[in-house]
Chains A and B, each alone.
Chain A
Amino acid sequence: MSTADAMTAADLLSLLQGTVVTVALSVSGIAIGVPAGLALALLLWRRVPLLRHIIPLYVSIIRATPLVTLGLLIYFALPAMGLQIGPVTAAVVTLAINTTAFNCEIWRAGLIDFPRDQIESAQAFGMSWPHIVWRIMLPQVVRTCLPALVNEMTLLLKGSPAIAVIGIVDVTRAAVRIGANTYEPLPPFLVATAIYAGIVFVFVRMQRWLEAFSLRDEAET
């Protein structure tokens, strides 16, 4: 049986809706996680007391925690503690908490490798710390961290089906439902696979584009 026989237009539409959910939730998680990871890495890098012990602990625990378990913990434990949240919020919080930890590690590695002489000369010119970070360090650190950050984005995307456990219908869940209805799991699964591959491809293209953009930026200045 061909794909067209087994799946109706409504099935394809539900896969498309699942795609929107997957992309929206993953991008929300990334939009929170990339800057939050940077903030934590900067706090670590400046050796802020107390936080320099808490942040590595957070990173270590989250690195070891499956997204499924984290999702269940947030979705069920927060309401039990009196904080009412819906599945969508819980999903975004789960993905953000997860990816923040991995991004923190990536940013931290980028900051450690940053040449000290540039910072010292910037200080000699009387630049303030926020100014040094924003104008001197970030433009360069972003470039070195970009491949690892994009890699982490694709990992988050591949982990995102975990949020199905709190009842969200993403691409994977939509494909499973169609498979269960048509008794033909293979066609929707192949379409879902193509969708994930397509999203990963877009991420990788975006990385190339950003790299070209930052190089052009440098050439102009």
Chain B
Amino acid sequence: MIREFSIVFQNADRLLAGLANTVLLAAFGLLLALVLGGLLSVLLMSESKSVALPARALVDAMRCIPFLLLAYLVYYALPSIGLNFDNWTSGLLAIVIYNAGYMAEILRGVWMQLPTETIDAATAFGFHGRRLFMRIILPQVVLTAIPMIGNQAIQVIKDTAFLMIIAVPELTHAASSIQSKYYVPFAAFICAVALYWAMCGVIEFAVHRVEKIADARR
């Protein structure tokens, strides 16, 4: 057992490179998904049916399919329409498209619950359109949605592990390659699990801190 773990520690650089890829994929994926989801939520809240319905269809489709299926679709189907990306980029693209749907739904849910007083007051002060959204609605929605965004961030980190199947060199892929070279399955995967656990711990801590700041501002 100790020998197994020492082999993994000798290959720590590979594991850490995988960890770095997982962190980068999750961080960029989450950020872009949040931006895209914010735009989608505006479409979802639109009073025009011809705008809201296609957005609704896209969001519902994302919530129905497994992430791996979408990742495969992006990986295999895009080249057939002439778009070629490397594995890393198609993995990132899959994360962004998939989670934009979830983010849109989270933000829309919070938006619907928003007290109307602040919005009424803002319109009385002459806020409307883009300025109303950017200055009044969005800050409140994002602050309230922080715990849910944190949960989704944990989901994104876990979803990146699927990308090993399309050969993206992320954390589970690194653990798997160490295990297949030295045959140390227990140590390799337990180390990966510990690193995933640590990442989620960081996110939970960050959400806790941001919530405190948000509470102080209310």
Contacts and interface: CB of A to CB of B under 8 A. Distances in A.
Interface string B153-179: 010011111101100000110011001
Given A61-B197, A67-B158, A69-B193, A76 B77 contact: no
B211 to A, nearest CB: 19
B150 to A, nearest CB: 12
Given A68-B165, A162-B162, A165-B165, A73 B72 contact: no
Given A77-B186, A80-B185, A172-B72, A69 B199 contact: no
Nearest to A199: B64
Q: Is the interface of A mostly helix, strand, loop or mixed?
A: helix
Interface in B171-215: 171-172, 175-176, 179, 183, 185-186, 189-190, 192-193, 196-197, 199-201
A193 B197 contact: no
B23 interface: no
Contacts of B66: 157-161, 172, 196
B164 A65 contact: no
**Most central of A81, A164, A176, A196 by chain B CB within 10 Å:** A176
B64 A76 contact: no
A92 interface: no
Given A158-B66, A161-B69, A193-B65, A69 B192 contact: yes
A192 B69 contact: yes
Contacts of B61: 193
Contacts of B160: 66
A76 B68 contact: no
A145 B2 CA distance: 43
A158 B51 CA distance: 28
B111 interface: no
Nearest to A69: B172
Given A161-B68, A172-B66, A189-B73, A64 B154 contact: yes
Contact of B76 (A61, A72, A76, A179): A179
A64 B197 contact: yes
Contacts of B192: 69
B200 A64 contact: yes
A69 B196 contact: yes
Given A165-B165, A192-B65, 20 more contacts: A60-B197, A61-B193, A63-B200, A66-B196, A68-B165, A72-B175, A72-B189, A73-B186, A73-B189, A76-B179, A159-B66, A172-B69, A176-B72, A179-B77, A180-B76, A189-B69, A193-B69, A196-B65, A196-B69, A197-B64
Interface of B: 61, 64-69, 72-73, 76-77, 80, 154, 157-162, 164-165, 171-172, 175-176, 179, 183, 185-186, 189-190, 192-193, 196-197, 199-201
Interface of A: 60-61, 63-70, 72-73, 76-77, 80-81, 157-162, 164-165, 172, 175-176, 179-180, 183-186, 189, 192-193, 196-197, 200
10 contacts: A60-B197, A66-B196, A68-B164, A70-B193, A73-B190, A157-B66, A165-B164, A176-B72, A193-B64, A193-B65
